[in-house]
């Protein structure tokens, strides 16, 4: 048992993250004199911000990757000249832009930057509509269900466990946006495991393609997302491993139930009431686990999107729109790739995204002032107003619920009128 604890402590050690970053060519630029603030106790935003700092009274070490005893930066023969880079995106809570760092391997930097985007909500908000509009509605709506549950359970678990991000120093913070959020488990690793492997399992036998190719693509997607979170200094190795295993556990129980859940959502006349109540209740519960943060809003956004897509699926079923292929047409085969096919897919994506962007802008302009007026909260400072659960939860639900509904109902109707179906 003691050996297991030692192994877990080793996997959680931020120095392990720092060594991986050093191996990949990431170097910190903090000096010993610049670390004086590391031990100060903050007065505000969240308890988790304090968890990221060193204990008061400790000796100030060199920061952001310049750990004591680490070799000085040298440009070795044949290696790339180091490039100074700023962290990706400011801290979502404090606005801190972070400390500049040095990159010696640009290929790995861009590769892992792309990899972490494969686990971000912004990617899935584009990826899921593309699958719906161009590939398979059946697969896409089930992927959305998997995504909603995996991300919700992962985020709630983070708030219960309450572990802070890897400390800097010794870790270099290549990304700052989620630096004040909790760390265990990695929800990027969870979605980066659940989505590609669910996509593989759901399409296996339904679409004709080499299964070995599908598995290799899913595994590559998963490994890229998981390793990117360590590279960016956002997670320990233990966080990532736990995220992968947690995601696998959820899939073991959830995937076999997808047929039953999907059938209920499509055919039960009480499904709309259950869908709205369930997703709203889950959002209210998640807001009670901790104080406000961007992750609270992200959770509500995911739940709202899932509710909207599921409601649209029910409405489509009632109206006989977007029917699933009959079993005798399976397995489906991919059409030959041609200029016309690519042009139609691009046109659908452009038109659909424009509709969604317009929907989001319109609903946002209407919802925030309306909700603030209902609950008596000043709307002059939108960022401050959205830190109230009474504003953030209905705002995210209404806006992204409408966006999710339009993805699968309004946009396909528009395609049929424009002869883009």
* Catalytic (active-site) positions: 188, 235
Distance CA 174, CA 88 (A): 6
Phi then psi dihedrals of residue 332, to 5 deg: -80, 150
Bridge partners, 288 (sequence order): none
Distance CA 400, CA 145 (A): 15
Q: Tell me if 243 sits within 8 A of 193, measured CB to CB.
A: yes
Measured in whole angstroms, how far is the alpha carbon of residue 78 from the centre of its chain? Answer: 37
Q: Tell me if 289 sits within 8 A of 385, measured CB to CB.
A: no
3-class secondary structure for 119-185? CCHHHHHHHHHHHHHHCCHHHHHHHHHHHHHHHHHHHHHHHHHCCCCCCCCCCCCCECCCCCCCCCC
Estimate the crossing angle of helix 339-375 against helix 389-408, to 10 degrees.
Answer: 150
Among candidate residues 322, 336, 329, the one with its CA nearest the CA of residue 416: 322
User: Residue 347 to residues 97, 330, 414: CA-CA distances in angstroms?
Assistant: 37, 27, 12
Residue 186 has a CB neighbour count (10 Å cut-off) of 30
């Amino acid at each position: 048992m003691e050996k297991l604890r030692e192994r877990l402590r080793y996997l959680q050690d931020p120095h392990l993250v720092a060594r991986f970053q050093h191996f990949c060519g990431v170097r910190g630029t903090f000096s010993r004199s610049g670390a004086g603030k590391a031990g100060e106790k903050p007065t505000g935003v969240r308890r988790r911000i304090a968890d990221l700092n060193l204990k008061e009274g400790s000796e100030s070490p060199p920061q952001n990757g310049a750990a004591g005893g680490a070799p000085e930066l040298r440009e070795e023969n044949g290696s790339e000249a180091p490039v100074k880079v700023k962290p990706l995106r400011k801290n979502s809570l404090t606005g801190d832009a972070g400390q500049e760092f040095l990159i010696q391997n640009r290929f790995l930097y861009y590769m892992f930057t792309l990899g972490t985007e494969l686990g971000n909500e912004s990617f899935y908000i584009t990826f899921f509509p593309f699958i719906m509009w161009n590939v398979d509605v059946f697969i896409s709506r089930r992927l959305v269900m998997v995504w909603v549950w995996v991300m919700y359970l992962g985020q709630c678990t983070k708030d219960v466990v309450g572990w802070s991000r890897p400390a800097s120093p010794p870790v270099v913070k290549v990304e700052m946006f989620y630096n004040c959020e909790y760390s265990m488990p990695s929800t990027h690793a969870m979605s980066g495991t659940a989505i590609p492997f669910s996509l593989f399992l759901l399409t296996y036998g339904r679409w004709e393609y080499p299964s070995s190719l599908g598995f290799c693509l899913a595994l590559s997607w998963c490994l890229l997302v998981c390793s990117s979170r360590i590279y960016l200094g956002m997670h320990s190795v233990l966080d990532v491993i736990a995220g992968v295993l947690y995601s696998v556990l959820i899939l073991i129980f959830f995937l076999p139930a997808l047929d039953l859940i999907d059938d209920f959502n499509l055919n039960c006349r009480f499904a709309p009431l259950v869908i709205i109540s369930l997703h709203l209740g889950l959002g209210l519960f998640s807001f009670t686990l901790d104080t406000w943060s961007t992750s609270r809003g992200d959770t509500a956004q995911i739940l709202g999107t899932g509710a909207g897509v599921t409601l649209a699926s029910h409405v489509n079923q009632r109206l006989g729109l977007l029917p699933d292929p009959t079993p005798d047409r399976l397995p489906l085969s991919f059409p030959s790739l041609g200029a016309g096919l690519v042009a139609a897919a691009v046109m659908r994506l452009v038109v659909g995204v424009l509709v969604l962007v317009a929907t989001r802008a319109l609903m946002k302009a209407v919802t925030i002032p309306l909700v603030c007026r209902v609950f008596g909260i000043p709307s002059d400072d939108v960022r401050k107003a959205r830190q109230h659960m009474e504003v953030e939860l209905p705002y995210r639900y209404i806006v992204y619920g409408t966006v999710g509904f339009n993805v699968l109902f309004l946009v396909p109707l528009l395609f049929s009128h424009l002869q883009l179906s």
